[in-house]
Structure 1
């Protein structure tokens, strides 16, 4: 099996699974319970919060546990908007956000907020000048995806943070679901107020995530019915999943130090081989893109058909974000990049992890080439 759909989800580390099972068996009590078993679970929860905070170089009080990236983005965007709407109802984001953010902004528009969607160039990058021009006295939030989930484009978060540092009343949220463990993002140094992370993108388990909320930042809670997570996210915590997530984060950050160069080599090889194939257009930019995401279009071939043919040969890829893949149609991201309907409707995404090898990449590209040739013979 050659698994190249790691941006949709990663295979959990064995140590992560072992941790989850152990905690589930021994520390199954509700951490909010007053008895000793509840106290044990609460202590373990606190240790995981402290561990994640140290890895992210933030304070434990700034770590809020969620069910994943979608919830984290919803809490950050809607929470800030509703909490601070008395100061202004203008929000800024990009036209290439993940659906969980993009649709949150569309929802807020229906509630009377005004949203500016920054355009991007053909590489998927926003213009810093556009951002500066759109900031208004009633702007309360800027929310930007760090690494695009379809193309891998890295937005200039550091530069954005420097600009927003001059506008103290504007909150800065970053969706870092695809970036964590692959692309550095120093939260404090780059003046970020809120940041979203998901466990199952870093070899943790589905249903767990982190929302970094800088101390002093207030936001409305979307959930009521409990005082968990510093009153920002009601609901019984998934202690086993959270402890497993802390381990996954530690492990992937270690791998990032040791294996990132190899991941970049694999990406460069795959990009070079894809550019050699007739009828293939590469959509991922050469520079300022993450080391693990490769997006390309095979013109004239429906992506679903190609995906199923690769599936039969044990090569697993995707069309776009897993959250949107079953909707069909063209990629909103590629359309916004100005790449045209043909490329947007035939796009394929390959996404690697530190577990993938050059041998797998070579084999996958050879199989892809064979399948494309076979399809073109049938289409003649």
Structure 2
């Protein structure tokens, strides 16, 4: 089976796995314990926090470890909203955000917050004009993902963040798909969410960045772990493996993104002239390893199962949406009809993808088109 679902999760690198095993074996103590073993675990935690902070060019005391990117998102958004509600109770986001953002928004509605959805252009991007027209006098917070996991479009966070800063509005971004792969303009962001398993680290580990100049509220009052940000004994081995994965991959990422972009272009060039195939998302301002497309008349789930039968693991969108009958919200927000949105499939490459695998995928794609549509993709 050839794995082309790197936006859902990535395999742990050998270095990250070795780090996890060593820390779990030799530094297993609770990092809050005051004996020598606990102090050693706390040192590992501090070093790991510095590694993640350095990768983002922020201070170590601005990084808070969590159990996932989704948890980091929920705690960041609720913590900022409750802390600043005296200034206003309107929050802006997009219809195409990860479900963890939308879950947080739905939760905040119960406490009197108003949630507004800013429109996006044909590629799923938020423009300054669209954002300016959505902002109200009591808007306190905006949450827009750096990159959309379903269509791959990358937002211009620098421009959006500068505009929001000029209007004294907090800015959170889900950077799960971009951390360790693309530069993140942290200087214009109040908060971001990241996770280990999208960048060759373990599952069950995430982190939030929160600007130390901006107040936030603890979700569970009285919590002492992670400076009150999150309750529960800290997963030191997982966090160490997260740091190891980033430390290893970060220097490789620029060249790897160029390599994966070439693979993406190879696939797109093979099929872009076909009137039955529609590529979604921005053609250039996007995740370089990500392909989002629709085959007219073929449901995404059927296409995914056929690729699986031919030995390729792809997806129909966000793995967090599996089991839902509703079409991808991102495509609906772009104006796609329900049956069109259900046609979405996503192919994502990663550090272990080879050119030979991409060539095999193109051949399998042509076979599927011939079997189901009576053409091989060259029309």
What TM-score do you get using the length of structure 1 for normalisation? 0.95
Q: Is the 8 A contact 1:277 1:369 kept in 2?
A: no
Shift, 1:127, TM fit: 2.1
Partner of 1:186: 185
1:334 aligns with: 331
- CA distance in structure 2 between the aligned counterparts of 1:273 and 1:99, rounded to whole angstroms: 33
Q: How far is the alpha carbon of 1:208 from its aligned partner?
A: 0.5
Q: Is the 8 A contact 1:224 1:234 kept in 2?
A: no
Q: Is the 8 A contact 1:32 1:42 kept in 2?
A: yes
SS in structure 1 opposite 2:208?
Answer: strand
Contact 1:154-1:289 within 8 A present in 2 as well: yes
1:107 corresponds in structure 2 to: 107
> Would you say the 8 A contact 1:89–1:140 is kept in 2?
yes
- Alignment match, 1:117: 117
Looking at structure 2, the residues matched to 321 and 185 of structure 1 have their Cα atoms a distance apart, in angstroms, of: 21
Matches of 2:46 and 2:164, distance apart in 1: 32
Q: Does structure 2 retain, via aligned residues, the 8 Å contact 1:330–1:341?
A: yes
Separation in 2, partners of 1:344, 1:257: 32
Q: Distance in 2 between matches of 1:293 and 1:224?
A: 40
Task: Map 1:30-69; keep pairs closer than 5 Å.
Answer: 30-69=30-69
Contact 1:281–1:343 under 8 Å retained in 2: no
C-alpha distance in 2, partners of 1:155/1:18?
Answer: 35
1:12·1:205 contact (CA, 8 Å) conserved in 2? yes
Give the secondary-structure state (helix, strand or coil) at the position aligned to 1:140. strand
Check whether the contact 1:120–1:126 (CA below 8 A) recurs between aligned residues: yes
Separation in 2, partners of 1:262, 1:288: 16
Superposition pairs of residues 51-200 of structure 1, within 5 angstroms: 51-168=51-168, 170-188=169-187, 191-200=188-197
Deviation of residue 167 (structure 1)? Answer: 2.4
Q: Say whether the 8 Å CA contact 1:72–1:197 is kept in structure 2.
A: yes
Work out whether residues 196 and 242 of structure 2, in 8 Å CA contact, stay in contact via their aligned partners in 1.
yes
Q: Which residue of 1 aligns with 2:377?
A: none
Q: How does 1:307-318 map to 2 (within 5 A)?
A: 307-318=304-315
1:201 aligns with 2:198: yes
Quick one: distance in 2 between partners of 1:232 and 1:353?
Answer: 32
Q: Alpha-carbon deviation of 1:293? A: 1.4
Q: For the residues of structure 1 that align with 2:75 and 2:201, how far apart are their CA atoms?
A: 21
Cross-structure match for 1:215: 212
1:225: how far off? 5.4
Measured after TM superposition, the shift of residue 14 of structure 1 is 0.7
State how far apart, in whole Å, the 1-side matches of 2:4 and 2:273 are: 20
Aligned Cα RMSD in Å?
A: 1.6
Which secondary structure state, in structure 1, belongs to the residue aligned with residue 207 of structure 2? Answer: strand
Per-residue deviation, 1:232: 1.4
Give, in angstroms, the shift of residue 223 of structure 1.
3.2
Unaligned runs of 5+ in 1: none
Determine whether 1:362 maps to 2:359: yes
Please report how far the alpha carbon of residue 276 of structure 1 lies from its aligned counterpart in structure 2 after TM superposition: 4.2
The structural deviation recorded for 1:224 is 4.5
TM-aligned CA deviation for residue 2 of structure 1: 1.6
CA distance in 2, matches of 1:182, 1:326: 29
User: Map of 1:207-356 to 2, 5 A cutoff?
Assistant: 207-224=204-221, 226-277=223-274, 279-356=276-353
Give unpaired runs (5+ residues) of structure 2: 375-379
CA displacement at 1:107 relative to structure 2: 2.4
Superposed structure 1 runs of 4+ greater than 6 Å apart: none
- The SS at the match of 2:214 is coil
- 1:225–1:235: 8 Å Cα contact kept in structure 2? no
1:122/1:339 contact within 8 Å kept: no
1:255/1:354 contact within 8 Å kept: no
Please state whether the residue corresponding to 1:327 is helix, strand or coil: coil
Quote the offset at 1:279 in angstroms: 2.1
State the alpha-carbon separation in 2 of the partners of residues 164 and 340 from structure 1: 32
